[in-house]
Amino acid sequence: MAQEMRSPIESGCPDAFQYMHPVMRRNYGQWAYHEDPRPGVLVHVAHSGEKIWTVRAGTQRILDIFTLRELCDIGDKFGDGYVHFTIRSNIEYLVADEAKVEPLIKALEDAGYVVGGTRNSVTMISHTQGWLHCDIPGTDASGVVKSMMDELIDEFKGWNMPNRVHMTTSCCQINCGGQGDIAINVQHTKPPKINHDLVANVCERPSVVARCPVAAIRPALVNGKPSLEVDEKKCICCGACYPPCPPMQINDAEHSKLAIWVGGNHSNARGKPTFQKLVASGIPNNPPRWPEATAVVKGILKAYKENAKDWERMNDWIERIGWPRFFEVTGLPFTKYHIDNWRGARASLNASTHIRF
Ligand code: SF4
Ligand code: SF4
């Protein structure tokens, strides 16, 4: 008899409880406090008195099957066989016995992994993985992450910063990328180039026209075929038209650059959200090691480390010293590209010589 087919699961990810460490399952929602015994290690103490240690290791972000097996084998041999991944691509091992922590760290370090990323360290850079699955990437964000973190390894492993530093990257200019103390985002600098022969076959023209945030796209007849045209004076080079219409190619080895934004922070119990601001633009998108972008990020981190007071996040520090001073201490040039003169942004129009962010 044919085997009965498994019915599809339509409701997202499986129940996480079955994969949780038993100490976590028993004390779910019942934690009294946590401490940081050393970089990369947390201990959570439950009201019941039970404790659980978490050991966090950074990864190279794109994980192949061999690396995953190696990481899991380390967890089986030196931990309790329970792991989870953070949104920043760190792997965390959960153990109920303090005696297992040091041997686990040694096994990870012997295998070439770095333990850290907690408290006032530079955490792993978060990003999505458009290069592999999305339809709009302008750069390989994971490559940027790997090259930068290679150079920031000591800041990941130690507690050297005034407060934690969250960094983000994005592979396109419009969607993910998030709010980070430092964000490294792709920056298109020219309007899309249209392959008119393909538009009629590939694109739903009304959706493409509707997609443009500044109404720069119009339907047009080109060589007798239905196509599109872009008003280049209006275009803000955002790249939003490229996903619904790949013939509107905007990626370009020379003109797709990187930009760096700083000071973003989500709201928390003590403060409102702050929005990141552009501090460096037109940085070459230069694989495989992105040295120019890394140099800018390292310069910002050095200035923050040397000048901020304990507990100040990047945005708190800049708020205290002011943006003109930020440009002085980081040595970044303040250019006309930092002035928001987009006609649509009347509410935040900063076109005068009086710098106001
Ligand atoms: S940043 Fe953009 S390209 Fe990358 S995954 Fe997100 S939406 Fe896709
Ligand atoms: S790049 Fe952005 S602004 Fe320019 S035409 Fe496309 S959607 Fe419009």
Reported as a pLDDT band with limits 50, 70 and 90, residue 265 is: confident
Question: Cα–Cα distances in Å, from 310 out to 160, 307, 313?
Answer: 10, 10, 9
Percent of the chain with pLDDT over 70: 94
Nearest residue by C-alpha to atom 7 in ligand 1: 175
Residue with tokens 């190619």: 249
| CA angle, residues 18, 24, 29, in degrees to nearest 5 | 110
Q: Are strands 182-188 and 167-170 parallel, antiparallel or unpaired?
A: parallel
In short, whether 240's Cβ falls inside 6 Å of ligand 2 is yes
> Cα dihedral angle (20, 46, 265, 57), rounded to 10 degrees?
-50
Q: Which ligand is nearest to the CA of 256?
A: 2
**Residues 291-315, mean pLDDT to the nearest whole number:** 97
Closest ligand 1 atom, CA of 175?
7
The rounded Å distance from CA 128 to ligand 1 centre is 6
Reported as a pLDDT band with limits 50, 70 and 90, residue 343 is: low
What's the length of the chain?
357
- Are 112 and 140 in contact by the 8 Å Cβ rule? The answer is no
State which of 7-11, 84-88, 110-114, 352-356 shows the largest mean pLDDT: 110-114
**Residues 151-180, mean pLDDT to the nearest whole number:** 90
Which run of H or of E encompasses 187? strand 182-188
Nearest residue by C-alpha to atom 6 in ligand 1: 176
Give the pLDDT of residue 349. Answer: 46
288: preceding bond cis by omega (within 30 degrees)? yes
Backbone angles phi, psi at 236, to 5 degrees: -105, 15
In short, whether 138's Cβ falls inside 6 Å of ligand 2 is no
Which run of H or of E encompasses 280? strand 277-283
Mutate to test the pocket of ligand 1, among 125, 171, 211 (most ligand atoms within 8 A of CB): 171
**Residues 10-22, mean pLDDT to the nearest whole number:** 87
Give the pLDDT of residue 356. Answer: 45
Answer yes or no: pTM beyond 0.75. yes
**Residues 333-356, mean pLDDT to the nearest whole number:** 64
- Collapsing DSSP to helix, strand or coil, 308 comes out as coil
The rounded Å distance from CA 137 to ligand 1 centre is 6
- Are 303 and 251 in contact by the 8 Å Cβ rule? The answer is no
Nearest residue by C-alpha to atom 7 in ligand 2: 212
Mutate to test the pocket of ligand 1, among 175, 238, 251, 285 (most ligand atoms within 8 A of CB): 175
Closest CA to 259 of 274, 237, 231, 230: 237
In short, whether 198's Cβ falls inside 6 Å of ligand 2 is no
**Residues 111-134, mean pLDDT to the nearest whole number:** 89
Closest CA to 177 of 234, 212, 136, 215: 136
Tokens of residue 235, six digits: 């275009």
Reported as a pLDDT band with limits 50, 70 and 90, residue 83 is: very high
Closest ligand 2 atom, CA of 211?
7
Residue with tokens 């020219």: 190
Closest CA to 184 of 125, 110, 129: 125
What letter represents residue 295's amino acid?
Answer: A
